[in-house]
């Protein structure tokens, strides 16, 4: 992780160059509001200069194309070219091309992409981020190895591509809401927009394709590699469609926070809430002892950083206060009769 530090040390000294040749005496008499602004400005400058604010995960999220936005239960991550080495996944962990993500029993993982696309992995699901290309033409291909996923894909440019691949099918979209399920058959259900589903035989050769419209689904089986004729959504697909609204709302909230400049604070608060939850679990010895070793490792690892996060959050709040004070001072100055009649 990239680490950057920021200090909130207050520093109110007058710069040496302002004292040279009596230059400070030549300044126009400063009003109390001007003096307040100077103090706030110097405090902000000192905070930025000393740099003691650790942003390890934040910077990586801002620079990455995808990250984990939510986890319920146990989710594991295997980085590209790391053989069989699995690690605990946690909130805001950046994801890259070649990464593999796996959810366990009663677990869900939510992944957000830079174009506001979101995919949700249901329990006992396993995916690999096959392609994650950004440039003049964006290309995202998710390989669903097993299990089930839902996706909300924003409307793409004509040259862009988003697809979910299984060993028997490829579901390509241009902006839609849909679900893919891998079991004895491979199902694709569409909730909004349109999805083109292509089947492939055991040799990987095309075996027909079909366009699936909203509120319909199709499937492919080992015996019949060509997509079946579309039919109305099954009960299990309807349940997914009814749940997809909360994920749509979550994406809108993230967009709004990002636009308003409050996303970093929101992420920090969520991490601290999760740490509080883990603290309660650890206090309950019976509950903690019943967890698997890998679950205990995840809890202990996150709690070891709690003090650091609390300090970072406190510094973030201080910087917010300084910024707010500076803005209020500017408003006071603009409204000052002295300024209006100058």
> What's the rounded Cα separation, in Å, for the pair 24 and 15?
10
Q: What is the pLDDT of residue 40?
A: 46
The 10s digit of each residue's pLDDT in 36-78 is 455 445 444 433 333 233 344 454 555 678 999 999 989 999 9
> What's the rounded Cα separation, in Å, for the pair 231 and 238?
13
Residue ranges per structural domain of the chain: 67-245, 261-304
Query: Contact, 80 vs 90, CB < 8 A?
Result: no
* 342 residues of the chain, pLDDT tens digit each: 222 222 223 333 333 333 333 333 333 444 555 654 554 454 444 333 332 333 444 545 556 789 999 999 899 999 998 877 888 898 889 999 999 999 999 999 999 998 889 999 999 999 999 999 998 889 999 999 999 999 999 888 888 899 999 999 999 997 889 999 999 899 999 999 999 999 988 888 888 999 999 999 999 998 888 999 999 999 999 999 998 888 888 888 888 888 888 888 888 899 999 999 999 999 999 999 999 888 898 899 889 989 988 998 898 888 888 877 776 666 666 666 655 555
Query: Contact, 313 vs 269, CB < 8 A?
Result: yes
Q: What is the pLDDT of residue 33?
A: 55
Please tell me the pTM assigned to this model.
0.72
CATH hierarchy code of domain 67-245: 2.60.120.1440
Q: What is the pLDDT of residue 252?
A: 86
Q: What is the pLDDT of residue 52?
A: 31
Q: What is the pLDDT of residue 312?
A: 87
Q: What is the pLDDT of residue 231?
A: 97
The 10s digit of each residue's pLDDT in 311-331 is 988 988 888 888 777 766 666
């Amino acid at each position: 992780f990239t680490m950057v530090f920021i200090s909130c040390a207050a520093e109110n000294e007058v710069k040496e160059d302002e004292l040279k040749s009596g230059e400070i005496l030549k300044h126009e008499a400063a009003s109390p509001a001007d003096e307040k602004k100077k103090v706030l400005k110097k405090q902000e400058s000192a905070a930025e200069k000393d740099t003691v604010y650790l942003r390890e995960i934040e910077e990586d999220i801002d620079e990455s194309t995808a990250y984990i936005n939510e986890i319920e239960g146990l989710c594991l991550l295997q980085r590209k070219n790391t053989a069989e080495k699995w690690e605990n996944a946690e909130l805001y962990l950046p994801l890259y091309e070649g990464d593999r993500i796996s959810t366990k029993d009663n677990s869900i993982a939510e992944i957000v992409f830079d174009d506001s696309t979101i995919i949700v992995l249901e329990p006992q699901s396993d995916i690999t981020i096959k392609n994650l290309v950004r440039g003049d033409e964006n290309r995202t291909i998710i390989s669903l190895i097993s299990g089930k996923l839902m996706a909300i894909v924003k409307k793409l440019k004509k040259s862009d591509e988003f697809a979910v691949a299984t060993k028997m099918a490829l579901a390509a979209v241009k902006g839609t809401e849909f679900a893919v399920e891998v079991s004895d058959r491979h199902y694709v259900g569409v909730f909004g927009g349109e999805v083109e589903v292509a089947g492939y035989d055991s040799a990987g050769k095309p075996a027909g394709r079909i366009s699936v419209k909203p509120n319909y689904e199709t499937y492919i089986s080992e015996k019949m590699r060509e997509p079946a004729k579309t039919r109305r959504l099954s009960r299990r697909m309807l349940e997914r469609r009814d749940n997809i609204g909360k994920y749509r709302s979550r994406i809108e909230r993230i967009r709004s926070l990002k636009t308003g400049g409050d996303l970093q604070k929101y992420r920090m608060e969520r991490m601290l809430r999760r740490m509080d939850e883990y603290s309660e679990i650890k206090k309950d010895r019976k509950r903690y002892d019943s967890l698997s070793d890998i679950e205990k490792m995840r809890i202990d690892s996150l709690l070891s950083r709690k003090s650091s996060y609390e300090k970072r959050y406190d510094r973030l709040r201080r910087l917010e206060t300084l910024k707010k004070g500076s803005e209020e001072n500017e408003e006071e100055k603009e409204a000052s009769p002295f300024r209006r009649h100058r």
